[in-house]
Structure 1
């Protein structure tokens, strides 16, 4: 299967409002194929974590049997929160790409998805894949009709963006308050959360994705996959376990024939970033989801 690749701006608001696009030279029929949209992690602030972090996963995937069912792939960049102490690329207070604060990150993600849906007309036929804080953003997309009520800047986007058929959350952060509490001995954790969301913990609660009425907010959703490695040294199993329970509390079931299915995939031996650096296991999980949806 052959794909062409390009970097495309989806907004002019900053230099980071771009996406990496991979399109098949011979696409499947629209009703049979599916899009993949990837959201990188990096604690909302790391300039070294970009859309290219999914390259290894995509390389495995494009040489798999699932490739013929992929209508397109987009890996998204988005504005980052300040990181003035970064050892090699500190942020400048004058750079609009490096001074984002919630809801800027989710606004960018919604803008990018709407750009793709308007151009390629795939509606809800896509899978969102998010790593670390990218998993937070992926599930935030599914909080249909919520962001517009809370933030005027996202209202028009939220009214128009169609949420995905499936979300794959990888080494994800799902509950900000319990996350910061668990790592209270590591000041960096509170620091990057405050840079991204401010100090008001009520905002942390609103931005988290464990207390959402998924029956009302993500009616289109068919599959939620939680992927986490037992060797992750940066995000413990408490986060995916919290999300797993939250989905179950809202009616998602771990049954093969469930209308709204949840799955928990436990990887072994891979650290937080090694999951995407290696890419093989993530490609296998993604391929399985593609197969079930197509």
Structure 2
């Protein structure tokens, strides 16, 4: 099954904290880190307890699926006269897939490589491997990096407790595009509270909700479908720019069907990402 390729890592465990009440009129500035800030990105995606089912003229087959993918990336930006270049150095991209209890371990196609991005005509970052062509899974991974770099989670303005805003969860859209070309994906964030982190700094706690899906008719007449729902929390440190953690959990359902049979998979998801300033960027 190709469902292992649908997963992109983006979320992380929450800090234990104490609540910091705000005055009713007080606003909190929520914005993404300075684009020139060097960042370390640590991500993990787990799909434990997944299952797939295939039906055709020969009968019915079921598989159990567990998938874990972890990444460590250093992100740097190099300003220049034409808008700058973003570099992602992928130090680790490990994938463990277990089908019916039999594990398989491999590295992602970009592990050990450096991907570079420039803005296209639409103003979005597009990644490539300098001096090389990327095909298949590696090309999909580059698209996912672009979806993450263009994420724009935060509104870039002051918001009040209880206020919500829409955001484009591009990293989830890229994952669904493995099965359907134009999935509809919506994301909503809501500022729940401001509290003190364990080290005494202030952090915003933001609730996140993502829903998406779509369908596509394939060349052979089969219908492919994908659908996901995720919810979780984003914490943004207000005193240490560039420090944030996201955790999402939910499920991913995919499937194809035609007159000859069907194949479907249901994958529980736990996704985490920790973003922190990279004090000594590696070149």
TM-score over 0.5 for the alignment?
no
The structure with the largest alpha-carbon Rg is 2
Q: Please identify which structure carries the higher strand content.
A: 2
Question: 1 or 2 for the larger relative contact order (CA 8 Å, sep ≥6)?
Answer: 2
